[in-house]
Amino acid sequence: MRLELDREALAWSIGPREGRLPLADVTSVQLRFLPAKFAAPSFEMEIAGRDGTRLKAGSASRISLTGVRDQREDYAAFVRALHRALANTAARPRCRGGYAPFRFWMMVAAGLAALAGLLAVFGFAIWQQEWAFAMFLGALGAFVVWPTAEMIWRNRPVTYTPEALPRHLLPA
């Protein structure tokens, strides 16, 4: 996908398809944090237009089956420029960040249940003096719990204005 921003519209092309989305016709912008897949975590912006156009831009681009190009700086600059341009239009798009509240709270509940289960099994392994298994669970927890908690925390539901972007949903 290729996006180009000018003063009045967002030009886009996806393979053979292309178009222009006037900034005044942007109805919503959604920012999200995506956990790491093959490389560093990434960020995503979804733009919706009055005509039904839906565009997604991310901070990482897949260049091969396992290769990913990190574009965090360019992505953050584009997100800021788009929001500045939207702030200067008459239209006021709905700007949201993270997941919908129901999805967010379901993820919190599922995450806490999984953490409680992991801690119970870890405690039982220590009580039974199964040191190798306890170390395995500790390592597993380090690789699973932190990224999951970060994904849930960064994707907490937020409504924002184009003038005040949520910092936790942009690359540092």
- CA 30 to CA 158: how far, in whole Å? 10
Domain ranges of the chain: 2-98+158-169, 101-150
Q: Which amino acid is at 117?
A: G
- CA 78 to CA 97: how far, in whole Å? 16
Tokens of residue 5, six digits: 């921003």
Task: Label residue 155 by pLDDT band (50, 70, 90).
Answer: very high
Residue (of 92, 78, 82) closest to 24 by Cα position? 92
Which is higher by pLDDT, 37 or 157? 157
Say if residue 8's pLDDT is above 70: yes
Tokens of residue 65, six digits: 């089956």
Task: Label residue 141 by pLDDT band (50, 70, 90).
Answer: confident
* CATH architecture of the domain with range 2-98+158-169: Roll (2.30)
- CA 46 to CA 32: how far, in whole Å? 8
> 18-59: per-residue pLDDT in tens?
999 999 999 999 999 988 765 678 899 999 999 999 999 998
Assign 3-state DSSP to the chain and report helix, strand, coil percentages, each to 5: 40, 30, 25
> 107-133: per-residue pLDDT in tens?
999 999 999 999 999 999 999 999 999
- CA 30 to CA 46: how far, in whole Å? 5
Residue 72: Cβ-neighbour burial (10 angstroms; 0-12, 13-18, 19+): middle
- Exposure string for 145-164, b = 16+ CB within 10 A, e = fewer: eeebeebbebbbeeebebee
> 92-108: per-residue pLDDT in tens?
899 999 999 999 999 99
What pLDDT is stored for residue 84 in this prediction? 94
